[in-house]
């Protein structure tokens, strides 16, 4: 028979809003006499593990946030905060990845780089990134920011970033943006840059449509397009176009499937090796018009369209 937990007669002297995060097996700071994980840590643990399906929803450029997180090797975006920057912080820049996979870096000049392609400790990537950003703003110049578990009640990116500011990714051919003067970098830094650059897949953001990125691989090229439409409606529209033979982007191209990433659907096309990003601009814009018409259709799917939809669904994978 299990022993009853002894009751603590003393009352808590700490309000629920002031209770700090401690180790799961440590006594809860509220004074209850129970372990943190069985007391106030229970709600915190639930908040930390609960998955937010669309962490970037409500931010300008949601599709580009997802693309930079999952698709693009090297890119940066200047971020604008709702509040003015602290003294000594001239700028905040989002980067796909940082040296040593640092979550963030405060440069010698005081500017902040925030890394996007990092593992996060909770189910809300927006909250984790916001916590890292806040700590980077007050870090000592010339130091990286280490990973940690974000407070469950901490702000999210949507609370910190200006929603009216444009989100304009700059895709780079390599990672020279890591250091201000890459040509005069130390041998160790130069070697690290060389390794990173060698692994980067050439990628270009299309200018005529939102959220679309061309990339080059040894066997063939691809277009990966993050679309903001509701998944079921988008799959219906793609099925209509596929059944009609109008889902391609021109001769030698093929819609091969899609994947889910952070709550949005990302259709993928195979492109011929010789088809450049510039070559795909016009076909992508024309496809966007066909897709808009298909999205507006309320007609039930035909047998051929349902078959096409089943094929697209069977080739769909989830990244997050």
Model pLDDT for residues 115-152, shown as the tens digit of each residue: 999 988 789 999 999 999 999 999 999 999 999 989 98
**Euclidean distance between CA atoms 262 and 211, whole angstroms:** 14
Average pLDDT of the chain, as a whole number:
89
Token readout for 3 is: 């022993």
Identify any residues that bridge with 78 across adjacent strands, giving them in sequence order. 93
CA atoms within 13 A on the CB side of 138: 4
Report CA 252 to chain centroid distance, whole Å: 31
Residue-level pLDDT at 23: 62
Average pLDDT of the segment spanning 93-112 = 94
**Euclidean distance between CA atoms 115 and 100, whole angstroms:** 11
268-280 per-position pLDDT tens digit = 999 999 999 999 9
What's the first-to-final CA gap in the chain, in angstroms?
Answer: 43
Token readout for 241 is: 């176009």
Q: What 3-state class would DSSP assign to 24?
A: coil
Q: What 3-state class would DSSP assign to 43?
A: helix
**Euclidean distance between CA atoms 44 and 36, whole angstroms:** 10
């Amino acid at each position: 028979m299990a022993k009853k937990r002894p009751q603590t007669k003393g009352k808590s002297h700490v309000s629920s809003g002031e209770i700090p995060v401690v180790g799961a097996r440590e006594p809860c700071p509220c004074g209850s006499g129970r372990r943190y994980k069985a007391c106030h840590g229970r709600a915190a643990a639930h908040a930390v593990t609960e998955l937010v399906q669309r962490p970037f929803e409500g931010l300008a450029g949601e599709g580009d946030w997802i693309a930079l997180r999952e698709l693009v090797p090297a890119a940066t975006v200047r971020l604008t905060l709702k509040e003015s920057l602290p003294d000594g912080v001239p700028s905040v820049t989002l980067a796909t990845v940082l040296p040593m996979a640092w979550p963030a870096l405060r440069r010698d000049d005081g500017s902040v780089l925030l890394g996007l392609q990092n593992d996060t400790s909770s189910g809300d990537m927006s909250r984790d990134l916001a916590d890292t950003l806040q700590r980077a703003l007050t870090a000592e110049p010339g130091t990286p920011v280490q990973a940690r578990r974000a407070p469950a009640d901490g702000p999210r990116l949507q609370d910190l970033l200006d929603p009216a500011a444009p989100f304009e990714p700059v895709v780079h051919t390599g990672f020279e943006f890591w250091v201000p003067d890459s040509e005069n970098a130390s041998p160790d830094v130069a070697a690290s840059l060389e390794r990173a650059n060698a692994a980067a897949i050439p990628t270009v953001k299309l200018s005529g449509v939102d959220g679309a990125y061309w990339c080059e691989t040894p066997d063939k090229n691809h277009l990966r397009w993050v679309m903001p439409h509701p998944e079921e409606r988008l799959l219906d529209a793609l099925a209509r176009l596929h059944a009609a033979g109008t889902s391609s982007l021109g001769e030698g191209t093929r819609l091969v499937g899609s994947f889910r990433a952070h709550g949005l659907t990302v259709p993928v096309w195979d492109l011929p090796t010789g088809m450049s990003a510039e070559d795909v601009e016009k076909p992508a814009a024309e496809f966007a018009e066909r897709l808009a018409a298909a999205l507006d259709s309320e007609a039930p799917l035909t047998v051929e369209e349902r078959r096409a939809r089943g094929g697209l669904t069977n080739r769909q994978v989830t990244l997050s």
